[in-house]
Every structure is written in C-alpha cells, then in structure tokens.
Structure 1
C-alpha cells in the first residue's frame, strides 16, 4: 500500500535479463554492474548506444563513479526500455537484440532489502542518461524524488501537459558494483512455458524453492510483424 507520499511501504525493485544469462548469474550468486560483467552474459539485450552513455554519465553523489558501475533496477514493470526491446523485435530492426521481451526474466527484490543489507545504492528520478535527471543516496529523499503515482500507471507516454513522463518512468535504484541473489524475493516470467524453463534452470543450479510467478501484464509481448495498435 502507498504511504502518505505515494511511495509503497515496501518498495519493489526489478532487474530483467535474458533467461540464457541465468545459469552464469546463478553460478556466481550475484548480478554485476555493466563495467564489471565482462563476458559473463550469454545474451546481451542492452543497446550499445545506451550502454556507452551510461559509462560516460557520472553519478554526482557517493559512492560516485559512472552509472555503468551500478546494477540497475526499475521501480515498475513495462519500462520504456522493455518497450524499445519489444518494438525492435516487432519491427525486425536490424542490428538490435532480436528476440523481444518474451525470454526476459524479472529478478525481484526491494529497496528495503538492499538498504538493510547495507549495500551502497543511489536512486535516480528518471532516465540516467538525461542531463536533467537528479540522483540521491538518501533514503528519506525517495518519497519526493521518484514519481510514485506514475510508477503505478500502465500507460506512461508523454502528454502535451506533461512531456516528461517517459523520462520519469525510467527512474532507477542503482546498486553499487554487485547485487547478491540472496536478496531476491523471486522471479517473474511472461508465460507458463517460460516458468517451467526457468524452474529447470534453477533446479540445475541446485535451487528448488525459488518463487517463480507468471505475470504477462508485466510484458508487451509484441509478435514479429504484427500490426501496430
């Protein structure tokens, strides 16, 4: 339930990755920042131009460094980044990750778990590549920093009276350097078939009690070549 400012009492955070990356992630028991991940990922869904901009963008509050030095989490599903991935798949855009959002797995945790584990983190009020985006590492700032009402909306496109909605929907919780998987609450996938596939990946890693939920409303699911709505 939202608090007086609209911030949920338990602040869910979401990181997504391709299901093919899970075996390597589970083997080391943690997520690594882009600047540290090296060749560990089997399938990279990130756009090279965005990754390059995150390596250049400095984080102006402690622990500092660049945005790429942090493991990124969104505060809401169906992010503009996932929309881009789904649309590029639908349109068959050349030179981009081709498989859409269906193989993507959400790794779900909470800000409270991160804070209680005394991990270093920073939050942004929007797209970390945008010059006007603000950052803070103070827990008390989040109530006003993040547009919590927008995080709960299904449609986040810019409007004539509010042309900044897309940027704000991309607010992030950035965990410095690495994120241990024992802070996860569970996983979310798009279909029952992906649920069973992920459960097998988890079993192969010796994990039998993980929570894996199916939530198609967290995805776009555009099919290749279908007509735009």
Structure 2
C-alpha cells in the first residue's frame, strides 16, 4: 500500500458509455474479447482504428492479446476522453480499487499499451519508474510524448469483480437517476466531478 500512497493513487479508472453501467455493476468489468463474446456491450466509445491495433498487439509479459485484458487508466482526463468530449456528458468514469495493482498477473505501462515504445511492468515496486508528472499533467500537448504517456494503463486479466468498483463519476446530474438505479444494493458512490472531464 505504501506505493499507492507514495504516488497518490486513489483510484484506477475505466471510462464507458452510461448505457453499459448497469451491466458492468452486475457482471463486473470484462476484457474486450469476453464482453463481446457474451454480448454485453450496449455502446462502444472506443476508437475502431485504435481497437484494430490493440486486437493485433500482444503483451510482452504474458504473451496475451491486449483485448484479453480489462484496460484501466491512471489518469482519466486523457486523450481517449478528449476524442470523445462531444459525448462526455454520457460517459461515466469508474473509480476502481487501486489495490488491484498488488494482485498477481497485473500489468501496468508507462503509456498507451498499443504504442511500440511503451514499457510494460509487472512488479508494483516499478511504479517508481513511471513519469508521474506527465501522467498527472492537465495538458499533454506541451509534454514530449505526452499523448502516449497520458494514456498509461493498468491491464487486468481477464475480468474485474463488481466489488472492486468504488465510485462512478459523471459529468453532470443528467444521468443521476440511471446511476442510482444501476448501483442499487452496492456500496458504490455516485459523484458529479467535472474536474475529471473536459
């Protein structure tokens, strides 16, 4: 836990369209391949071109396709969300238990996992090697390689239990009732937080 406190990691983040929330809270977060196999994706906000690259990328640690992992971010306010800013009011950002980083077979990266220059790590002590100032920066356009770095990831194979979801951030009160309904019977907190959006 010292590593999490040292680097101020309160949550790991996953963004998704509001229509997927109820299914995620019921089934947990599944890898891209598994979610599609089970027909659980109501709406996909990912970039098809990026997904084509990820579909053909294998991690260097366990030799698995990236699509066999659940991807999380250290910073939710990143280029992926920026590309979808026109629909960000309909995107929820899940804050997950950062202790996932201590579990076996977890991978984290110093940038977008699909980028050829990205480095992959499996030991939580290697969090020290990540460029935290760049990952946490509000802007990436004036940082060398900032676009890649801001999308540093945590990859979880092959799913994440619903109990690891701690909070659901949203852009406004627009989907307040949807979130309340989706999280019924759980301890998940719903919270408007414009700071993690554009």
TM-score, normalised relative to structure 1: 0.78
> Is residue 34 from structure 1 mapped to residue 32 from structure 2 by the alignment?
yes
The total of aligned residue pairs comes to 194
Q: 1:129 to 1:139 in 2, by over 3 A?
A: same
The structure with the largest alpha-carbon Rg is: 1
- Distance between the aligned counterparts of 1:106 and 1:119, measured in 2? 25
- Hey, what's the Cα distance between the residues in 2 that align with 1:115 and 1:155? 25
Q: Give me the CA root mean square deviation.
A: 2.1
- Equivalent of 2:88, from 81, 97, 101? 101
TM-score, structure 2 normalization: 0.89
1:191 to 1:50, Cα distance in 2 relative to 1, 3 A: same
- How far the C-alpha of 1:142 sits from its partner, in A, is 1.4
Q: Deviations over 1:157-198 (max 9, x none)?
A: 1x3xx4311111110011011011111221111112323331
2:158 aligns with one of 177, 192, 197? 177
Give the CA deviation at 1:47: 1.3
Distance 1:209 1:31 in 2: 17
Contiguous gaps of at least 5 residues in structure 1: 90-99, 221-229
Which residue is equivalent to 1:166?
A: 147
- 1: CA distance between counterparts of 2:95 and 2:110? 20
Q: Distance in 2 between matches of 1:124 and 1:208?
A: 31
Q: Give unmatched runs, 5+ long, in structure 2.
A: none
Structure 1 residue 11, shift from structure 2 partner: 4.8
